[in-house]
Amino acid sequence: MASRTEVVRPGAGKPGPAGLAERAEGAAAILALGNDRVDAALLDAAGPALRVVALASMGYDAVDREAAATRGVVVTHTPGVLAETTADLAFALILMARRRLGAARDALAAGRWDLFRMDDYLGLDVHGSTLGLIGYGQIGRAVARRARGFGMRLLRHDPYALTAVADPESRAVDLPTLLAEADVVSLHVPLTPGTRHLIGAAELASMKSTATLVNTSRGGIVDEDALLQAVRDRVIHSAALDVFEREPMGAELSPLVGEPHVITLPHIGSATEATRAAMVDLAVDNVLEVLAGRPARTPLPGSSPTPSSRD
């Protein structure tokens, strides 16, 4: 069969998983986004020619790694190239939520600035406060570097770290201690069965009433119903989210969108021209390496083909 190259833009053909599976038939490689479901159905729809699925994403919770491995399909992702950009956004969300910048912006746009009041849009200081980082990988450490410029005290909790982190400028603590002491809790762990709803009603209740929760990782790490109730009941001060349990939303928005003390963005942590280009470049490099018979540059853990896999 002659090789083919096809570029499919959003909106072309059938939407969602059915459209991706239809386009993948007979392909040797698929370049997918982080929320594209890479499961047995997609792999079987592609057929025996498929050798590699390259994600233009750091996260890979939508990948069935066992299904890929047993079919001899290498799956790759794009770690490293988006850490600094995502950390920029995480810190922007901290500032927006703590200082209530979204509410102030919306009031100005609605023409409600007609006098000065000492109690309008009062936020909370970021400088000198305590930042708790749940997850201390590339992005978590990048956020920590920014926080030091604001004189923030740093706490970290990373149950998934493979090796101990030597960092005298932050203090390693257990999760209950971090939640109790932090003014800002920022999430930087992958979504796994062990981290799904890591932050629920009990965890939110253990935080300071003046605390802010920031999530730029994966939406499923937070129980969104519990968070909505916690913000409305003022159990915590505020939240800032770039990710949600259901993505994309379309017209059926999460009730967290528009909540006065919640800043929401549509999963744009890596959305700069340079970073998105670097992600695609790395994904393409992975495809070319695998198709040339060489090891992928950045394969997922456990994505190597098993002895029973296809040739």
Question: What is the spatial distance between Cα 146 and Cα 184, in angstroms, rounded to a whole number?
Answer: 14
Of the candidates 210, 9, 200, which has an alpha carbon nearest to the alpha carbon of residue 98?
210
Catalytic: which of 77, 141, 237, 267? Answer: 267
Residue 218: active-site member: yes
Catalytic: which of 218, 224, 261, 289? Answer: 218
Residue 39 φ/ψ, nearest 5 degrees: -130, -175
Q: Is the peptide bond before 248 cis (omega within 30 degrees of 0)?
A: yes
What residue type is assigned to position 146 of the chain? R
Question: What is the spatial distance between Cα 104 and Cα 121, in angstroms, rounded to a whole number?
Answer: 6
Residue 2 φ/ψ, nearest 5 degrees: -65, 145
| Assigned token pair, 54 | 């390259």
Residue 186: enclosing H or E segment and its boundaries? Answer: strand 184-187
Residue 100: active-site member: no
Residue 22: active-site member: no
Catalytic: which of 171, 247, 276, 297? Answer: 247
Full strand arrangement of the beta sheet holding 52-55:
29-32, 52-55, 74-76
Residue 269 φ/ψ, nearest 5 degrees: -55, -35
The set of catalytic residues is 218, 247, 267
